[in-house]
Amino acid sequence: MGKPRFRPVFTPIGAAVLVIALVTLARSLYARNSYEMLISCIILLLMLILGIAGRRRAVKLALLEPGWKPPAPMTACAGEESLITGLGAPVPLFFRMHFLVRGKFAPNFDNDCPVFAETSAARGEEAARLSLDFPMSGIFRGSGYCRLRDIFGFFSFPCGITLQRTINVRSAPCFGKKPQIKAQSGAEDRKTKSSTNEERFYMREYTPGDRLRDINWKSSEKIDALITRISPDNQEKVSRIEVYFRNFGPEKPSLEALWLLDRAKARLSYFIRSLMDENSSFVFSVRCAVNSGAVNSGAVNSGAANSGTQGSMEIENSEDLEVFLEQLAGISFIPAQNERTASAGTGDLYVFSTACDTGLQNFLLSCHPRPVSLFIVQPEIHVKKTESKITSQSKPGHETFYKRYFPAMGCIPLPRWLIKKNINTLNADANRVERIYTETKL
């Protein structure tokens, strides 16, 4: 929080009216036109009274602290409204309290587009609703502040304390086929173990996805194999699912590429959430590329130091899932470099990627002979017919993004995003492949 930054008290309309009134007054005095003189004097007197009244009240409201409560979680294209409170302070006649939001929305790490939203409270009302929505996933960083404005649109006085917000915007939901998984599992039953084998009961052989902190390094050295500690209270079957989210892509992606990444995030979210709803014992080990330069981007496992470094997170319950989804919203494209191969093991892998991932096929080859289920987001294929007719090859899971969503939601897109860029489809082979097709239109 901080003091509101300086902004002129005259609105563009107010400044224009003032100039016109002064010019008219000077002209009427020169021409001795009493009618024009009367009109200009009335306008200038009205503006003077409004200016004095508004200025005096704005000074008294300098320490006004409004409340700004955005939806939690914030989801793209949800149409939800933020709640603005603390606007019920008395204001002069013909004035209303307004709340404005300005900031930058970044669907990718270094691609910021300006955002503007505004609402006002009716006279005597304590709260107001602010329509602040976003067209796709990303990070919004902005400030909210109050302005005291007259109903004629002449003046806009700053008042109150400026609020700073950083909001992770999740992807709009994506619904696909019900996931069919083969999880790596380990079960321990205390009743089947004798008291002499109690130490063995608390240990088992390491499987991919186990936490490193659970490895018993001392026992592992003795038998030359990794041994994982098992909690004595863990009596139920635990199934581990290893997931790779490959967010590799161009350094300056087009809007078409960003839409591919957004849909990949949405499909991954649906995959994890639907499986956790089906079986609460599932534990997900998710790996993706992170960029440590993204401040508050929610990069998974912030210990990663370099662009393109693999980060990981383990999701064991609904609380972990909510934390991961917040982090996933801020994940951007990372140029493929210093990429690691899949971890050793025999269990199934679940890979989520896009057509921008040029190194996908090499990664899949490195996974051999492990079974791989691939979820890939591809651009929609268009086929040119005779007579210049273009038809779309309709595919299941087709998702369309309209560029007009940006201005409709108060976001100004980058100029290069308005130019359509074709992305080639990516032919990738795996044991099981699910393709999601996307398209962008004006």
Could you give the CA distance from residue 161 to residue 314 in angstroms, rounded to a whole number?
40
The answer to whether 168 and 294 are in contact (CB under 8 A) is no
If you ran DSSP here, which 8-state letter would residue 63 be given? T
Residue 360 burial (10 A CB sphere; 0-12, 13-18, 19+): buried
Residues 6+ apart with CB under 8 A from 193: 200, 201
pLDDT along the chain (442 residues), means of 10: 62 95 94 92 96 95 94 92 93 94 90 92 90 95 95 94 95 79 49 42 66 76 76 56 92 91 94 88 88 48 45 88 94 77 74 92 88 91 44 57 92 88 86 90 86
Among residues 274, 287, 312, 279, the alpha carbon closest in space to that of 185 is found at 279
**350-405 pLDDT tens trace:** 999 999 998 899 889 888 888 999 999 999 875 444 333 333 344 556 789 999 99
Q: What pLDDT sits at residue 6? A: 54
Residues 6+ apart with CB under 8 A from 124: 88
Among residues 438, 396, 358, the alpha carbon closest in space to that of 172 is found at 438
Among residues 61, 81, 79, 62, the alpha carbon closest in space to that of 71 is found at 81
Q: What pLDDT sits at residue 391? A: 37
Handedness of CA 292, 296, 297, 300 (dihedral sign): positive
Could you give the CA distance from residue 123 to residue 119 in angstroms, rounded to a whole number?
13
**260-318 pLDDT tens trace:** 999 999 999 999 999 988 888 889 999 988 765 543 444 454 433 334 556 788 999 99
Q: Which fold would CATH assign to domain 67-170?
A: Immunoglobulin-like (2.60.40)
